[in-house]
Amino acid sequence: MSDFIHSRRRAILGLTATIAAIRAVAAVQPPPPDQPPPRPDQLANPARPAVPPVGDISTPLPATAIGAIAFDGFTVFDPRPVLEAAESMLPGKGRELFAAWRVRIFEYTWLRTLTNTYADFWQVTEDALNFTLATMQPDLPEAQRKNLLDGWLLIKAWPDALPALQRLKQRGIKLAFLSDLSASHLDTWIANSGLQGLFESHLSTDLVSAYKPDPRAYQMAIDTFALPRNQIVFAAFGGWDVAGAKNFGYPTFWVNRANANAEELGVRADGVGRTLADFAAFVEQMSPAMTR
């Protein structure tokens, strides 16, 4: 019984931490065309605790040969088309609906993992939308509900993704997604973005029927690449994923696109930045002797 209580307590801590991160993502505003995303110091709110600065190396790491990188999907792909679809259908309420929907998605992934009732990400996303609409907008026509779901199929890469990924690939590092998303979704987004040929086979949680931050999910990279964990870098989008990967033992970089505060879960990322260019620089610092 004590093990069950402890596992539930850990789950509740994870849920609480991630709600703040997801709400921060929903608040991200797209930059004007041809303008890079603002730096954290340009966005910082004096009333908030300081966010980790771009380029911050929280834990100096020894130089090592990095053989592989595991990416959370949203470090590469921009989810804001779903937010834009929600706001266009429900002006003034779309952002709130999107934030609530994303919170429910991640709550469902963790609850399904804890209860051994795994369903793929698309099913979880649809279930979470149905719950959110029943709570906030029960009279939304079916066609608009479908359009909200279809917004997930329109997602493309962040503008900084392609050059950074090419930069890492040229160093001979294997790149793969270690993601809650199904392989079919990742393939669609890769095709939308022109990123074909850059990634190894997808490490979808569908393969182990357990969502992150369950250790079975993170273990996939070790099993696939046959490398020790200190030679596999994990790129996280959410603060909760930073904690999961660090506790598993991966060198971890936080691509903090939402300018969110660090989670209070007892660990910190080894490096923090706003873009994949920042991440590429971090990897190069870790492996200065690697051949370009």
The domain spanning residue 87 has which CATH number? 1.10.150.240
Model confidence at 62: pLDDT above 70: no
Residue 35 falls within a domain, yes or no? no
Model confidence at 67: pLDDT above 60: yes
Burial class (CB in 10 A: 0-12, 13-18, 19+), 186: buried
The number of folded domains in the chain is 2
Same domain, 213 and 185: yes
Same domain, 140 and 207: no
Q: What is the extent of the structural domain holding 87?
A: 2-10+80-154
Model confidence at 27: pLDDT above 50: no
pLDDT attached to residue 65: 84
Tell me the percentage of the chain whose pLDDT exceeds 90.
70
Same domain, 173 and 185: yes
CA angle 225, 226, 231 (to 5 degrees): 75
Same domain, 124 and 241: no
Task: State the DSSP code for 28.
Answer: P
Catalytic residues: 72
Domain boundary among the residues 115, 134, 154 is at 154
**Lowest mean pLDDT, pick from 9-23, 30-44, 186-200:** 30-44
Same domain, 120 and 166: no
Q: How many other C-beta atoms can be found within 10 angstroms of the C-beta atom of residue 81?
A: 18
pLDDT attached to residue 266: 94
pLDDT attached to residue 29: 41
| Residue in this structure with the two tokens 């706003």, named with its chain if needed | 274
How is the beta sheet containing 252-255 ordered, strand by strand?
Answer: 203-204, 174-179, 68-71, 232-236, 252-255, 271-273
Average pLDDT of 118-141?
Answer: 94
pLDDT digits (tens, 9 = 90+) for 198-233: 999 999 999 999 999 999 999 999 999 999 999 999
Same domain, 164 and 246: yes
Domain boundary among the residues 154, 173, 191 is at 154
pLDDT attached to residue 63: 54
Residue 114 falls within a domain, yes or no? yes
Residue 232 falls within a domain, yes or no? yes
Same domain, 72 and 162: yes
More confident residue, 56 or 77: 77
Residue 209 falls within a domain, yes or no? yes
Identify which of 279, 259, 260 has the alpha carbon closest to the alpha carbon of residue 37.
259
How does the average pLDDT of the chain come out, rounded? 83
Model confidence at 24: pLDDT above 50: no
Same domain, 70 and 210: yes
Average pLDDT of 143-153?
Answer: 92
Same domain, 74 and 215: yes
Domain boundary among the residues 133, 154, 175 is at 154
Same domain, 197 and 224: yes
What is the DSSP track for 270-292?
A: SEEESSHHHHHHHHHHH-TTS--
Question: In Å, how far from its chain's centre is CA 281?
Answer: 19
Residue 178 falls within a domain, yes or no? yes
Same domain, 262 and 126: no
Residue 291 falls within a domain, yes or no? no
Residue 19 falls within a domain, yes or no? no
The domain spanning residue 252 has which CATH number? 3.40.50.1000
Residue 281 falls within a domain, yes or no? yes
Model confidence at 111: pLDDT above 90: yes
Same domain, 164 and 223: yes
